[in-house]
Chain A
């Protein structure tokens, strides 16, 4: 990573918490996503969260999508074979084991033994401190989502992440839940984009965001990010994290650019390992 200091935000990156802290807030957010599901739904989807040390292992055998079936924050000595076995035992065929770039050499052999392959695209962990938030003009109206938008947001996220039906509903159901702050960008009465922020103590995670294809290019994501960052700062957060796909030649990753514009800097690269043939998105029957 070439950026070592976020001078514009006035805070040296190295002071932005440990690797564990960066991973922990993400783990807390996703653990709460699973916790938020109504018990009947949780049981039906087989939702499980395992958090040991700095690691978070999400298992959702009823939700066949890597977003809900992934393990991260494992550390260099993580028992990745056990993790993979756990997914197999739960009946999960498609999952990600997300390994920090620095940890990868040590884990390479175990990952191979577990039958996992490197997924073509890596993720990047982003973080920023409590520096000022830049303005992000848009012709859309950004407001805190009320429950009236729940179904629309669920559909939007489901479509954007190519989630099974319950996946979108799980995220939409976070509206009004303690710790969660979901915002929408409205085009008139219609939800054009949505984004969620999870706050716990002084740390926050920009957990998810998506825009309808027809509303892209209107500044929705930038505005949603600015709005969530402002709230995080108002709530006293000193660390805001997020994750996004790595930019690649020919695929500039707008999300990455948005984040850097708002002061989020890459902290570390995450390689994704998955069983052979696994791809992002819903399973194709």
Chain B
């Protein structure tokens, strides 16, 4: 009998999908987490599948739900708020993963109760703060899952807000090895059109997907059997299948509509085809008590979900009638109590059917009442209030505008910039339509800021541009200044923004005269906007004045911002000593004010200040400070910068493999943090590393992606073209370089005097052999010969001592004597600063000098460095130099070469010839290497009579200089630098020269005693002693062989590799 229908608790037709998800949850429990998306049309049974999964794994997993708010107006991260709250309340998990000191401040932005008692989150730039938030959620959930496997279920992902989708995309990458499974339902067509389409597409790439098709005959029959309590007749199954077309929701609605099912059951040929699911739902609602209908209508205006208490405040029912109506609505499976006192329509189509059926006036009045009720709460849910106020029509307009503005501000505070932009844009539309000019202008600033922080710089500029006109019309200088500063919120890279400069000047003109924080900020921003400029000095001056004014205002926040922006105008062009002082001030102030991002920025800048000054210990100290800041403040989004700086140090120390590995790591960290700038810096560093090693092919290959990265700004385009010419020059491809050359390429290097561009220019003009250009580059470089080339964070690279460039240019112009002098000084500087690869190249250039005094020695040094550090380009060039290092005629094939000792004589045999040599230590070493053909033998093993390293052989002889002596040297260096600066200022060449000589001497001494990291260098170690001894003895032995058998000698010279590890590797 139809009256016995028991409701849709029968689960049919999804066994395979359920098994797949069950297996996924099980795999997650074993530490192989992942994301599954369940797609399908409305009503096909997606949510039911998740409910069944939740029930099945509920005994082994902590199951938590998050539901998107399909009607709009949900606060940012709403589904995650639900997930976090549910997870925290799970007894097996507890609150510990969520209240950890490093996370609570961030999670507290989503879940208010976590903010209580937690420290406020540190002031970070939006991108970093957002990363911290995402990381806090992901790490809390993965830690929670360590206590019990976690199954996170999301309903209606197609309606998820953009911030939540970003968080899910982030989590998807984090849980591959965690005990977390995420399953979400979505309707694909709506997902593609929705506000989170991009993020959902990214999630889809990480996720496995199940698509639910409509039910076939068998499941429909099974469902009916479950609902009726007996096997349904075939005619009923066929009729229901034809009517519902296998849509699960439709099936359940039909099964709940007794009249329709009765008619179908009669099988009398009458087809019962409700025009739609909506019609079936309305029919069902129509049969309920009037109070229940009124309650459902009101609930439909709230949305898919409503609190019973809020519903009660709006619906015109007394307590008893409300309880009765809620009971009836839930008993008829139109509502379900999803959480205590939270009622939810069983399907969005149920809600939509009811909402669509409301008369427009009734609908508007319901929304107005809801908006007013919600607005009276504390805290008020502004996004939802705005949504309802908008739906209320004219009566809700004022409230809508206010609510949207507040919602935008709240979203921005919660780092949900997409939502913030949406709210501000809606508010702006209302304000414009109502002619509220000042409000519209302020909203434009909020919108532009949200767009900028969300990464839409173009959109931000357009909106701020619109605000400019309004602010001008309003004639309010402070408002105009605020708009202009927002317009300049993002620093331009490599291009002067003339329009912004003009606006900043206009804003400055509008402010009242005299010192003031707004003026200082505008001036600093103006200085930065002016760069790169030819000449750069006016921008320097502007920056200095701004910083001085900010100091005078006594407002730390203004000074901090002014230093941050103003120093940007000085990097990397002004004197590094001046920059050092300012960056130290910036770092100290940032630390005092608890602004870690500013502190990080300042220390990052100090790295390059120190690099240019040739102070390796200061370089490392600054990097160490960056590391501490990143660690202490868990600034994961910035870790890539520190890692890339370490890669930079590894490069100049010649640890190329380490450097590449670190660059790989930096790339991974930057990808994790979605840091768009990182790719360019990593690529450029890789290019320069390849060039330094002499790997021309790789350096060339890397230029293409660098081109793409730098195509967006004029200086970038010029720079990359110059890099191409320089790379061709470095590779000796003069014709190709000449074909690409344009004299205008020297405009920027010569105009702004940037050392990195001048390095490129040097390589280019030396290759082109254009004396007039060479002279111009030389003139610009010469005053900077005491500095090191630095590429700043853009290229994350430290170049050679500029003196090396000067020396090469001088030599090319025929002044070999002075050129050699510069090269020797640069060589000493490279050695002193631990830059062995550059030392190798400079040694090679010295060896290549016409009439070089010590060609062999320099050539051998270059070759030794090249071989030790694996620098193929340098090695090839060094071998071309001479007997010890030059490429010799190909040695004859030497097969079956053997050595044996007969008493005090060594017998060397090859090709039927014998060679007799007196016993020598070097021959012992040679024999051991020949015996271990192809294998690397450590010098300590080789040098030991037993073939094993002697105990303590690897130990050292202690620090070369004691701490007291080092400190004395440092103080003297500081005094000498001041003396040198003063002497240069007064054009006192003699005094300056004396200071320089003493500085060089001390630098040499300190470099001998202090490693690049500022760590005291140990006196020559046992290894080093052994390496030198072995090399000398082998060389001596080979020379003796060569004296008797030139071919064999050449063979050995080419086949024996020395260094810390030695080997015999016949070619």
Contact = CB atoms under 8 A, between A and B. Distances in A.
Interface of A: 38-41, 139, 141-144, 146-152, 173, 175-178, 181, 187-190, 218, 227, 231, 234-236
Interface of B: 1, 4, 6-9, 51, 54-55, 58-59, 61-64, 86, 89-91, 229-230, 319-320, 322-324, 327-328, 330-333, 336-340, 346
Given A176-B7, A187-B58, A189-B58, A146 B324 contact: no
Nearest to B64: A188
A188 B88 CA distance: 11
A9 B289 CA distance: 33
B9 A151 contact: yes
Contact of B54 (A41, A188, A227, A235): A188
Contacts, number: 87
Contacts of A39: 1, 4
A40 B229 contact: yes
Contact of B333 (A40, A176, A189, A231): A176
Contacts of A173: 6
A92 to B, nearest CB: 25
B229 to A, nearest CB: 5
A224 to B, nearest CB: 11
A106 to B, nearest CB: 41
B511 to A, nearest CB: 58
A189 B9 contact: no
B340 A143 contact: yes
A188 B90 contact: yes
Contacts of B58: 187-190
B322 A234 contact: yes
A143 B89 CA distance: 15
Contacts of A150: 6-7, 9
A231 B327 CA distance: 9
Contacts of A188: 54, 58, 61-64, 86, 90
A189 B54 contact: yes
Q: Which of B6, B230, B320, B333 has the most CB atoms of chain A within a 10 A radius of its CB?
A: B6
A231 B323 contact: yes
Nearest to A152: B55
Contact of B331 (A41, A177, A236): A177
A112 to B, nearest CB: 43
A142 B7 CA distance: 22
Contacts of B64: 188
A151 B10 CA distance: 10
Contacts of B346: 146
Contacts of B340: 141-143, 227
B181 to A, nearest CB: 13
Contacts of A40: 4, 229-230
A236 B320 CA distance: 6
Contacts of A234: 319-320, 322-323
7 contacts: A143-B339, A143-B340, A144-B336, A150-B6, A175-B331, A188-B63, A227-B340
A38 B63 CA distance: 34
Contacts of B90: 139, 188
Contacts of A147: 6-9, 333
A151 B56 CA distance: 13
Nearest to A218: B91
A32 to B, nearest CB: 14
A192 B16 CA distance: 28
A143 B342 CA distance: 9
A256 B587 CA distance: 68
A82 to B, nearest CB: 33
A151 B340 CA distance: 21
B340 to A, nearest CB: 6
Contacts of B230: 40
Given A39-B1, A147-B6, A181 B339 contact: no
Contacts of A151: 9
Contacts of B86: 188
B6 A190 contact: no
Nearest to A142: B340
A148 B59 contact: no
A173 B4 CA distance: 11
A105 to B, nearest CB: 42
Given A38-B229, A151-B9, A176 B331 contact: yes
B55 A235 contact: no
Q: Which of A176, A177, A231 has the most CB atoms of chain B within a 10 A radius of its CB?
A: A176
B55 A190 contact: yes
Contact of A141 (B8, B9, B336, B339): B339
Contacts of B1: 38-39
B123 to A, nearest CB: 36
A144 B330 contact: yes
A109 B105 CA distance: 75
A149 B63 CA distance: 16
Contacts of A141: 89, 339-340
Given A39-B4, A227-B340, 13 more contacts: A38-B6, A40-B229, A139-B91, A142-B340, A147-B7, A147-B333, A150-B7, A176-B330, A178-B331, A188-B90, A189-B63, A234-B319, A236-B320
A146 B330 contact: yes
A227 B63 CA distance: 23
A280 B390 CA distance: 62
A225 B322 CA distance: 20
Contacts of A235: 320, 323-324, 327
Contacts of A218: 91
Q: Which of B61, B64, B320, B323 has the most CB atoms of chain A within a 10 A radius of its CB?
A: B323
B55 A189 contact: yes
A107 to B, nearest CB: 39
Nearest to A184: B337
Contacts of A148: 9, 51
A201 to B, nearest CB: 12
A226 B791 CA distance: 70
Nearest to B87: A188
A144 B342 CA distance: 10
Contacts of B6: 38, 147, 150, 173
Nearest to B59: A190
Contacts of B324: 235
A175 B333 CA distance: 10
Contacts of A190: 55, 58-59, 63
A142 B346 CA distance: 18
A189 B51 contact: yes
A39 B230 CA distance: 12
A218 to B, nearest CB: 7
A136 to B, nearest CB: 12
B24 to A, nearest CB: 16
A43 to B, nearest CB: 12
A181 B327 CA distance: 8
Contacts of B8: 147
Q: Which of A38, A148, A149, A189 has the most CB atoms of chain B within a 10 A radius of its CB?
A: A189
A150 B8 CA distance: 10
A38 B338 contact: no
A151 B327 CA distance: 20
A234 B322 CA distance: 8
A177 B330 CA distance: 10
Nearest to B61: A188
A260 B410 CA distance: 47
Contacts of A227: 340
A132 to B, nearest CB: 14
Q: Which 10 A-B pairs have the closest CB atoms?
A: A189-B54, A190-B58, A234-B323, A147-B7, A143-B337, A176-B331, A188-B63, A144-B337, A189-B58, A38-B4
A191 to B, nearest CB: 9
Nearest to B57: A189
A151 B7 CA distance: 12
B17 to A, nearest CB: 17
A143 B340 CA distance: 5
Contacts of A178: 328, 331
A102 B424 CA distance: 75
Contacts of A176: 7, 330-333
A40 B90 CA distance: 42
